[in-house]
Amino acid sequence: MNTAIRSLIAGVTLAASLAAAPAFAGGSVSVNLNPTDPEKAQALQTGLRFYGLAKGIKDGSITQNGFGNAAGLMQNGSGNLGVIHQNGDGHVGTIEQNGNGNACGLFQFGQNTEAHLQQNGDDGACATVQIGW
């Protein structure tokens, strides 16, 4: 399994486990993946596209579970995949994709996280996992 996919899986697993942990003070932690190597970008794209396939997502999706969340997805080009998943309250997140064949995922857990991701060019990949408390 490629390092980028392993990192994404580890980040999502960490997010799920920390979301269940008790909150002590407000704060957040983020894990960002933005591979510049074409092989690593392709591996991350493959992982995101498998995620999309499992969730029935073709081009883009926003999933919000909680209250007071805000999200936006803007795509200019073709063949792009954008996924925003917010689980918890008070999250703000956007993805903007300019180009073709890009894949990007934003996964927010807990509460009160904020991220704005932008992809320019073709065949890129990115993913961010955030956990707030």
Residues 58-72: what's their mean pLDDT?
A: 96
Q: How confident is the model over 81-92, as pLDDT tens digits?
A: 999 999 999 999
Better pLDDT: 102 or 1: 102
Residues 48-55: what's their mean pLDDT?
A: 96
% of the chain with per-residue pLDDT over 70? 81
C-alpha to C-alpha distance for 98 and 121, rounded to whole angstroms: 6
C-alpha to C-alpha distance for 130 and 90, rounded to whole angstroms: 13
Q: How confident is the model over 70-110, as pLDDT tens digits?
A: 999 999 999 999 999 999 999 999 999 999 999 999 999 99
pTM above 0.85, yes or no: no
The closest of 125, 78, 119, 74 to 100, measured between CA atoms, is 78
Better pLDDT: 87 or 15: 87
Is residue 20 pLDDT above 60, yes or no? no
